[in-house]
Chains A and B, each alone.
Chain A
Amino acid sequence: MSRFAGRSALRPAGRTHRLGQPRQARVDAGPLDGRPRTVDGRAIDAVRESWLVEDRWWSGSPIRRRYWEIVTTCGRNLVVFHDLRGGEWFVQR
């Protein structure tokens, strides 16, 4: 199989891409309240909001996430979440 055949099989024309796909992140969170302190090595200036999302609990792949809207010291406004099932952290904006 040629390289190009393989590539076109991976990226078919007209495929839809979801917006806001979570990207894995390195987060250092507080041991007590779980508040993120650094995200990918950047210190956090403020936590603007936090909320819990529990969805698709009726399906085989339920979602349990603790979201944090934060502002880093370099001024970036980020939304990160802690996957409460897998224990990993993700950036979503």
Chain B
Amino acid sequence: MGRITRRTCVRTVIVCVLLPRFELTIASGDREELLRTPAALAPEPGGEARVGEASPAAEALGVRAGTPLGEALARCPSLTLVPPDPAGVADRWERLLVRLESIGAAVEPERPGLACFAARGLLRLHGGSLERVLTAARHALRQPSRFGAGPSRFCALAAASHARIRRPVVVAGGEAEAAAYLAGLPVGLLRGRHETASLPKSLERLGIATLGELAALPRAAVADRFGAQGLLAHELARGRDGTLAPRQPPECLAEEIELPEALSGVQLDRALQLLVDRLLARRERRGRTLRTVVLSAALVEGGTWRDRVPFREALADPQRMLLALAQRLALLPAPAERLRLAVERFGPLASDQRSLLDEAVAVRRSRLREAVQQARAAAGPDAALRVLAVELDSRVPERRAVLTPFE
């Protein structure tokens, strides 16, 4: 009986770490005064013309992340647009995640500036209480951040949104307690989840101001009006949420090159070639192929550019890597003054195979014929087949080619 009681008492506790306006803070660099004036992240080159994160002063004037650029400037003519720094944000965020992982947390990064981890497995590591876990995380981060804890991710996010630096908000209990805590909070909190980010505007227009009012609506009515998005919001408002999916900590292997003058075109391709060669020569690669790399650049006119390139198959061949990366480099929005290539994921070990072409053609054909005969003798006429192109241009893959008996 005692054991059963103890098991029911062990509840999931999710900790949410929130660094508000993380991307804007990183892009502003040492110009901290920018954050005290109306400022927002400029749209990314080549992307939709919408501003990114906005400073408190800009938000007071109605400019929010995702506001169309024209509307933002009309609302706030003195708005300062800060060039985005996706490479800097990714670097800094990665460092913070590694610091969190250093206390033993299995972290799920939601977006730069927002991450969650389960506290249950860390309690014994850090003295047996949640407060100590939060203290350890705060010390590890070495950066002012807000902490919230609750039985679900969304509840923890809501708690973190209302927490202050050094004063975490903890919602104890289970689903019912989470729903009770969320009931009085505004539906605007749904903007914190990208799946439900567009809902608050419609909900507010319909007079649904709090999550409690949303949770009280019939599920069928919410599904009818808002579809899957609404159903998810309804679940979140009732204190339920999906399970955490922590990331696998990546290995850090990167090469960077300073360009003496802003380069573009063929010269930039050469710089890329150099980076690829250097990266492949690193001892830490230990003969492995590369599955996914990240190409980033610091632009002459300010800001950075970043592109993640997953290869079609894991590569260790510099020529093939260059073919794939040069196409992405052509998308660079402005001349670059620094170029960086980092490995995000490794593939299996590269292996050298003997080529069939080393054999004399006649010997090879004779061996092939013998092999076909033996295979057919053992497994029937379908043992050796050849590919016959039928409708190469067909948009339905299974119509393009068939297998027919070999010879």
A interface, CB within 8 angstroms of B: 11, 13-22, 31-32, 43, 45-46, 48, 53, 55-56, 63, 71, 73, 75, 77, 79, 92-93
Q: Who on chain B is nearest to A19 by CB?
A: B401
Task: Indicate which residue in B228, B291, B396, B403 contacts A17 across the interface (CB closer than 8 Å).
Answer: B403
Tell yes or no: B218 within 8 A of A by CB. no
**Whole-angstrom CA separation of A17 from B385 in the bound complex:** 9
B371 within 8 A of A: no
Which of A11, A14, A20, A45 is in CB contact (< 8 Å) with B398?
A: A20
Tell me how far the C-beta of B246 lies from the nearest C-beta in chain A, rounded to whole angstroms.
12
Pick the contact of A75: B348, B385, B399 (CB < 8 A).
Answer: B348
Q: Which of B310, B314, B405 contacts A48 (CB 8 A)?
A: B310
| Shortest distance from the beta carbon of A87 to any chain B beta carbon, whole Å | 15
Find chain B residues with CB under 8 A from A32 CB: 195, 228-229
B332 → chain A, closest Cβ, in Å?
20
A14 to B382, CA, bound (A): 7
- A17 to B397, Cβ gap below 8 A? no
**CB pair B381 A63 closer than 8 Å:** no
Q: Is the CB of B232 within 8 A of A55?
A: no
Question: B291 to A55, Cβ gap below 8 A?
Answer: no
Residues of A near B397 (CB, < 8 A) are 20, 79, 92-93
B396 touches A19 (CB 8 A): no
B362 within 8 A of A: no
**Could you tell me if B396 and A75 are in contact, using CB atoms closer than 8 angstroms?**
no
Please state if B291 and A75 are interface contacts (CB–CB under 8 Å): yes
Q: Do A14 and B405 touch (CB < 8 A)?
A: yes
Please determine whether B402 and A46 come into contact, CB atoms closer than 8 angstroms: no
**In the complex, are the beta carbons of B380 and A13 less than 8 A apart?**
yes
Q: How far is the CA of A5 from the CA of B385 in the complex (A)?
A: 23
Cα(A56)–Cα(B395), bound, Å: 11
Min C-beta distance of A55 to chain B, whole Å: 6
A43 to B291, CA, bound (A): 15
Residues of B within 8 A of A22 (CB): 398
Q: Does B404 contact A (CB under 8 A)?
A: yes
- Point out the residue from A19, A45, A79 that lies within 8 Å of B403, measured CB to CB: A19
Q: Is B313 an interface residue (CB 8 A)?
A: yes
Q: Are B382 and A15 in contact (CB under 8 A)?
A: yes
Q: Are A45 and B232 in contact (CB under 8 A)?
A: no
B 370-407 to A, binary, CB cutoff 8 A, 1 in contact else 0:
00000000001110010110000011111111111100
| Cβ contacts A to B, 9 pairs, < 8 Å | A19-B387, A20-B398, A43-B245, A45-B310, A46-B310, A48-B310, A71-B292, A75-B291, A75-B314
Most chain B CB neighbours (cut-off 10 Å) among A11, A31, A48, A92: A31
Please judge, given known A-B contacts A17-B385, A45-B292, A46-B310, whether A53 and B396 are in contact too, CB under 8 Å: yes
Asked whether B345 is an interface residue with its Cβ less than 8 Å from the other chain, the reply is yes
User: Which of chain B's residues have a CB closer than 8 A to the CB of A11?
Assistant: 380, 382
Flag if A77 contacts B312 (CB, 8 Å).
yes
